[in-house]
Structure 1
Amino acid sequence: MDGRVGAGAGHRPGRGARARRPRTLRALAVAPLLAASLLTACGGEQTAGRPTLNWYNFPDDSGALQKAADTCSKASGGRYTISYHKLPRTADGQRQQLVRRLAAQDSSLDILGLDVTWSPEFAEAGWIRPWTGAARRQAVADTLRVPLRTAIWQGKLYAAPYNTNTQLLWYRDDLVPNPPRTWAEMLDIARRLAAEGKPHYVEIQGAQYEGLTVWFNSLVTSAGGSILTPDASAPSLGPPAVRAAQIMHDLATSPAADPSLSNQMEDENRLAMESGTAAFEINYPFVYPSMKTNNPRLFRHFRWAPYPRVDAGRPSHATIGGIDLAISQYSRHPDEAFEAALCLRNRENQLAAALQGGLPPTLRSLYSDPALRKSYPFSGVVLDALETASIRPQTPAYQNVSIAISHALSPPSDIAPVSSVSEASEQIRQALRSEGLVP
């Protein structure tokens, strides 16, 4: 999850498909040849005698990614050209396209923009190259510690963090002069506002998708626990997970719950806050420029604070999102691709992506840049959150683990903390062992 509108927010595609008639022997014989010829045609593209490096990343409407591709192409001195290709808007669609093409050993893929949960899966499948030597040293230099963890699998660096993201608590200071520190405090304030007939909803991602897993993960880690054991071999859902599930249930069954909670994703939360019906919103920084543009009157009262704590004496650990840049195992120009990826995520391009696209950078030094501080008056809170952030479970089976969690905890109003956590634990165990059916 990274807060881009629609990114990671799509429902997972259906798994059913109509049965097809067997193809003829001739069709079966021709298909591999056709596929091979198509792959050959795609791979090794040249532009004026120099290789074209194909960069597949999320669709950016700000123009920052295209500008980075153009700038780095020029900086190469004619040794290569970077072609930016837009992946589907949802994270599920992005992963599906990359997996299909990498499984076919498509040599036209060079630089891959991976969601921060994909590196273990892609590395385990042998689809991406480890970063070593000088390239690794440059990728690690000045990079924030927690985002860097998302790109490491089995002790090896498999990607370079390109951007990151974390949720904050957004609130209206005309309703709440002082922001709450804990979830319990926030719910108490919401109940009081409701009794006074004032806007009082707490907007949060409650639909059955990745956002629900992110909410649960943030609460579990903030309660001192984790979803998986350190070696990612088994679920580790104990008392912290039950505490997390209780908070989710308490919110969903309180006056703080938006009537649409069980169907809401990041963008629905943004729209509800902008409409004036909510007092609080747990969301990514993209909501700030949106509120400024769409509701200038409320924008004057739109404030931010750290992610709520589970306990007053324990810091919160919001789950980070973002994109990491990896190099395809099947790229015909890996040396150039590593060089180009380092350019795409350098200081200038990360700053442009932050200012134009609202994507928090992964380079620590940028958080003291005057331009970023002016555009991101909350950048200090973001940096503090990133320093103590949590990451989602690192496992090649993450997709199935996430589905199991969101299935067991949906809808939040039906959560029975002990039994729901027990169900999630059993489904996670099956997912890690590739047993049973994915919900």
Structure 2
Amino acid sequence: MPRVLRFRSRWASAAAGLSVLASALAGCGGGDGAGPAVLDWYNFPDDSGALQQAADRCGQRSGGRYTIRYNKLPRGADGQRQQLVRRMAAHDAGVDILGLDVTWPAEFAEAGWIREWTGAMRERATADTLDAAVRTATWRGRLYAVPYNSNTQLLWYREDLVPTPPGTWAELLAKAKELADEGRPHLVEIQGAQYEGLTVWFNTLVTSAGGSILTPDARAPSLGAPAVTAAGVMRDLADSVAADPSLANQMEDQNRLAMESGTAAFELNYPFVYPSMKANRPDLFPRLRWAPYPAVTAGRPASVTIGGIDLAVGAYSRHPELAAEATLCLRDRDNQLTNALEGGLPPSLRGLYATPELVASYPFAADVLAALDSASVRPPTPAYQNVSIAVSHTLSPPSGIRPERDVADLRGQIQAALGSKGLIP
């Protein structure tokens, strides 16, 4: 059964407080009774220094009760998940805080590897937090993690080429063709490689068309007409002049580089492209603008798939209460602001989007918040990795998509993935 975090009230009796303190001190310093508890935090590698600053800051604020050791996971999401799965399957007591991709909480909760947040601690963990971000950390109505940062995609475009941004995918492709006919930069950059980014693209289109990949109870595929429409949009782009010749191998960073090279007029990507363009192409940067993600149909705004990282407390941690306290500190207002300004990751706390510091660095902050308020989440299921693989393999390459047939095939693959049957490609 999944572990549950239970915390004493800060107004507990003095006797109870002394008991807790004695217990905490006995467990500090790896069990030798000397020094603060060392909490091991496993998270994605951060080159900005923002995560290390957060770890140091929280250790200092703890009043000597704990320090946080930031352990960098591999750069790739697959490598990160693999290392965490191996540690938790081995009941590693040295994993106190886990940085989970937003697609992993259901899997880790179902396996009993992370603790549930309840009562007052749940209220603290969700206060002022974006609803979509909270949904990524929730499994079967229970909260198993705390949103650390969020992320979403916008439509980035060249204002010198496109004075008015397109509002729908049909308008986007039409404008790209118009630019191509004029012999001007016209490519639309998006993630078309056979990986998670392709699944995110499909999920965004399906939900924007009014559908979902799975049923609400996550026990069966949903798909249907919205999925056929979504697959058709992907195929239409791949078959048009707007498609990058290397679409089938394109990921987020390749999209960024193509836009910076000057060959593209549009890209669907995350906010990290903004500071990158500013640093790498100061001549093009003044022309870079942003707009909401294109709608599938006019009058129905897009529902963009939310990204980000959630923090969870390990089920086998020797210091679960301290780890929970440290988790709340790591994702508090100050640390999220630092992470946004220095690490380039949008916050999960709603109130930060109105702060002058964030708006100054993120002039598109209101657009990011609007996208997050209408965001969709990837299918919440412990079998998500298998579902994602089925989607990305079936719809790759985008130029080979046959909407109705592929969606029918995908339905069977997802059903098998949910039941752990058959071979996953």
TM-score w.r.t. the length of structure 2 is 0.92
Please say if 1:86 is aligned against 2:86: no
3-state DSSP of counterpart to 1:83: strand
Residue of structure 2 in register with 1:370 after alignment = 356
**What corresponds to 2:136 in structure 1?**
150
Q: Which digits, 9 at most, give the CA deviation of each residue in 1:385-416, with x for residues without a partner?
A: 00000000000000000000001100000000
1:44 Cα offset (Å): 3.5
Once the 2 structures are TM-superposed, how far is the Cα of residue 45 of structure 1 from its aligned partner?
A: 6.9
Instruction: Give the match for residue 231 of structure 1.
Output: 217
1:259 maps to: 245
Q: Given residue 214 of structure 1, which amino acid in structure 2 is its aligned partner? A: V
Q: State the partner residue of 1:410.
A: 396
Structure 2 vs 1, CA of residues 46 and 66 (structure 1 numbering), >3 Å: closer, same or farther? farther
User: Deviation per CA, 1:120-170, whole angstroms, max 9, x where unpaired?
Assistant: 000000000001122211101100111110001111100000000000000
Q: Among 131, 149, 167, which residue is 1:181 paired with?
A: 167
Q: Is the 8 A contact 1:45 1:52 kept in 2?
A: no
Equivalent position SS for 1:360: coil
Q: Which residue of the partner structure matches residue 58 of structure 2?
A: 72
Give the equivalent residue in structure 1 for 2:150.
Answer: 164
State the partner residue of 1:358.
344
Separation in structure 2 between the aligned mates of residue 253 and residue 422 of structure 1, nearest angstrom: 21
Matching of residue 217 in structure 1 with residue 203 in structure 2: yes
Q: Does the residue aligned with 2:283 lie in a helix, a strand or coil?
A: helix
User: How far, CA to CA, are the matches of 2:156 and 2:109 in structure 1?
Assistant: 36
Give the match's secondary structure for 1:312: coil
Deviations 1:293-330 (A, max 9, x none): 00011101000000000011111100010000000000
Which residue number corresponds to residue 428 of structure 1? 414
**For 1:317 and 1:47, how far apart are their aligned partners in 2?**
52
The one-letter code of the counterpart of 2:60 is: K
- Provide the aligned length of Structure 1 versus Structure 2: 397
Q: What CA distance in whole angstroms lies between the structure 1 residues aligned with 2:33 and 2:175?
A: 61
Q: Give the fraction of aligned pairs with identical amino acids, expressed as a percent.
A: 71
The one-letter code matched in structure 2 to 1:365 is: G
For 1:49-81, what per-residue CA distance to the aligned partner results, in whole angstroms no more than 9, with x for missing partners?
Answer: 221000000000000000000000000000011
In the aligned structure 2, how far is the partner of 1:94 from the partner of 1:308? 31
Task: Report how far residue 46 of structure 1 moved.
Answer: 6.8
Give structure 1 stretches of 5+ with no counterpart: 1-42
> Which of 35, 42, 48 is residue 62 of structure 1 equivalent to?
48
Aligned to 1:38: none
Contact 1:151 1:324 in 2 (8 A): yes
Match of 1:333 among 314, 319, 328: 319
Does 1:303 pair with 2:289?
A: yes
Secondary structure (helix, strand or coil) at the match of 2:367 reads helix
Q: Distance in 1 between matches of 2:32 and 2:75?
A: 28
CA distance in 2, matches of 1:48, 1:75: 19
Distance in 2 separating the partners of 1:312 and 1:57: 40
1:398 aligns with 2:384: yes
1:240 correspondence with 2:217:
no
Q: Aligned partners of 1:268 and 1:396: how far apart in 2?
A: 30
Task: For residues 211-266 of structure 1, give each alpha carbon's deviation from its aligned partner in whole angstroms, at most 9, with x where no partner exists.
Answer: 00000000000000000001011100100000000000000010000000000000
Aligned pair partner of 1:344 in 321, 324, 330: 330
Runs (5+) with no aligned partner, structure 2: 1-28
SS in 1 for 2:147: strand
2:54 maps to amino acid: A
Q: Deviations over 1:342-394 (max 9, x none)?
A: 00000000000000011000101101100000000000000000000000000
Q: Matches of residues 100-139 of structure 1 in structure 2 within 5 Å?
A: 100-139=86-125
Q: Is the 8 A contact 1:150 1:391 kept in 2?
A: yes
Query: Which whole-Å CA distance do the structure 1 matches of 2:384 and 2:264 have between them?
Result: 33
Corresponding letter in the other structure for 2:199: T
Whether the 8 Å contact between 1:222 and 1:315 is mirrored in structure 2 is: yes
- Once residues 116 and 305 of structure 1 are traced to their aligned partners in structure 2, the CA distance between those partners, rounded to angstroms, is 24
1:385 aligned residue: 371
Structure 1 CA distance for aligned equivalents of residues 303 and 284 of structure 2: 28
Retained in 2: the 8 A contact 1:45–1:108?
no
Shift of residue 48, structure 1, vs aligned partner = 4.9
The CA distance in 2 between the partners of 1:379 and 1:282, in whole Å, is: 16
Deviation of 1:109 after TM superposition, in Å, equals 0.2
Deviation, 1:47, is: 9.5
C-alpha spacing 1:49/1:398, structure 2 compared with 1 (3 Å): same
- Local SS of the residue matching 1:300: helix
Report the Cα distance in structure 1 between the residues aligned to 2:49 and 2:370, rounded to whole angstroms: 28
- How many angstroms apart in 2 are the aligned matches of 1:281 and 1:410? 19
Cα distance change on mapping 1:335 and 1:281 into 2, 3 Å: same
Q: What is the alpha-carbon distance in structure 2 between the residues aligned to residue 45 and residue 320 of structure 1? A: 40
Partner of 1:271: 257
Indicate the SS of the match to 1:308: coil
